[in-house]
Amino acid sequence: MKNIIVFGAGGHAKAVIDTIEKTGIYQIVGIIDGLKPSGTSFYGYEILGNEQCLVQHEALASSGIVAIGDNWTRAAVVEKIKNILPRFSFITAVHPNASVARGAQIGSGTVIMAGSVIGSDTRISEHCILYANSVAEHDTRIGNYVTLAPGACTGGNVHIGDYSVVSLGAAIIHGKTIGEHTVIGAGSTVLTDIAAYMVAYGTPAKALRARVQGERYL
C-alpha cells in the first residue's frame, strides 16, 4: 500500500479517513494539523505537526489528501502544501461502495464517499467532496473545490462552478448551471440556472442574497 498523509483532524477528516481505509489502497502514516499538539493521536494516527514539517517527513510520504470540509479553506491548505513541497501529489479516494460509471473522470484530491453515484461521462474536478448518497448524473461537469453534501443530487448535464456547495438533500434538475462560489441551501430544488456568488434556496430555488469569495458556509 502507498503511504499517504492526511491534512486535517476534524469531523470531516474522520469521514475521509474511513473512505481511505475502506479502499485498501493507501496506508495513512500521519496527520498534519497545526491546531493539534504534535505527537498526540487522532482517529488512531499520529499528529505529525503543521504543514511546515512536510519537508522533514517527505521520505515517509510525499502524497496525501486535504480533509477539510470548507472549500475555501481546503484550497488555501492545498496552495500552502504546493508552496512548501512542490513535489507533493494528491490522491483520489473513492469508497468501494460508491458507484462510478464508465467514462466518468475524477480529479486529484477528490474524495467520493459511500453510496455516492457518478454517472456516465461525468467529470469531477480537483479537491471536491461528494458526501454519502450524493449523485452527479451523466455528463455533469463539476469544477474544482466543489462540495455535494449528503443526499444532494444533480440530473444529467448539470454544470457546477468552482468552490460551490450543494447542501443536504438539494436537487438540481438536468441541464442547469450553478455559478462559482454559490451555495444551494439544504432541501432546495433548482429549476433554473443560478448565478455565481449567490446563496439560493427554496422550492423552486431562488437567489436570495449575494456572497463573497471565501465566505464560510459551514
> What residues are labeled active site?
138
Q: Write out the DSSP string of 127-163.
A: T-EE-TT-EE-TT-EE-TT-EE-TT-EE-TT-EE-TT
Residue 179 in marked binding region: no
Nearest to 2 by CA among 52, 83, 57, 60: 60
The grid coordinates of residue 180 equal: 462559482
Question: What size, in residues, is the chain?
Answer: 218
Nearest to 205 by CA among 148, 163, 124, 178: 178
C-beta separation of 178 from 157 below 8 A: no
Known binding residues for substrate are: 69
Known binding residues are: 69
